[in-house]
Amino acid sequence: MKRTLSALARNEPGVLAKMASEFGKCKANILSLAAGETENPEVSRIVLCLEGDGKAMDEAEKYLKNLSGIIQIDDLSRKDFVDRELVMIKVAMNREQTGQLMQIFEVFRANVVGMGQETITIELAGDQERLDGLIQMLIPYGIKSMCRSGMIALKRGDE
């Protein structure tokens, strides 16, 4: 079972570290964790994508609600939400493949952000399915390195 949790937390040292260190005790695996300041510099939003059985997920959410420094917690999995992730990928490239790679980048609307003699680096922001699709298309060309930001998410609508 997967869950996406969004927490508002006081922007102070140790809150994120305490939060992340406790998830192993709940037997909940962190698939993705993204944190950053909100519109209020004293508050950070932490988006966690977790995987585990139902009991582990309930324990993790209960733990978060009781953790000092946490202001609010939302289980986005039970709501309509919008999510995005950023990926940067360095792909092997030779002259014969350049045209094919550029077509793939165009289809996915990926941006070239760096180029070497033997590699090309691109970025793409989108939902996980879109990023996974691009990655699958690039595997045959040779992915040299890759970095994913982790999901960020907000509830849809006026909530």
Give the alpha-carbon dihedral of 14, 58, 80, 89, to 10 degrees: 50
From 105, 114, 115, select the one nearest 135 (Cα to Cα).
105
Q: What pLDDT is stored for residue 54 in this prediction?
A: 79
Dig out the tokens for 131 from the structure. 């990023």
The pLDDT confidence band at residue 130, using thresholds 50, 70 and 90, is very high
The pLDDT of 54-78, averaged and rounded, is 84
d(CA 141, CA 68): 47
d(CA 92, CA 117): 9
The pLDDT of 8-37, averaged and rounded, is 85
- pTM, two decimals, is 0.81
The pLDDT confidence band at residue 136, using thresholds 50, 70 and 90, is very high
The pLDDT confidence band at residue 29, using thresholds 50, 70 and 90, is confident
Domain with CATH 3.30.70.260 in the chain: 2-79
From 8, 64, 3, 10, select the one nearest 32 (Cα to Cα).
3
Domain 2-79: top CATH class:
alpha beta
The letter for the amino acid at 53 is D
The pLDDT confidence band at residue 38, using thresholds 50, 70 and 90, is very high
d(CA 119, CA 140): 14
Domain with CATH 3.30.70.1150 in the chain: 82-155
The pLDDT of 27-40, averaged and rounded, is 89
Greater confidence (69 vs 105) lies with 105
The pLDDT of 102-108, averaged and rounded, is 97
CATH 3.30.70.1150 assigned to 82-155: yes
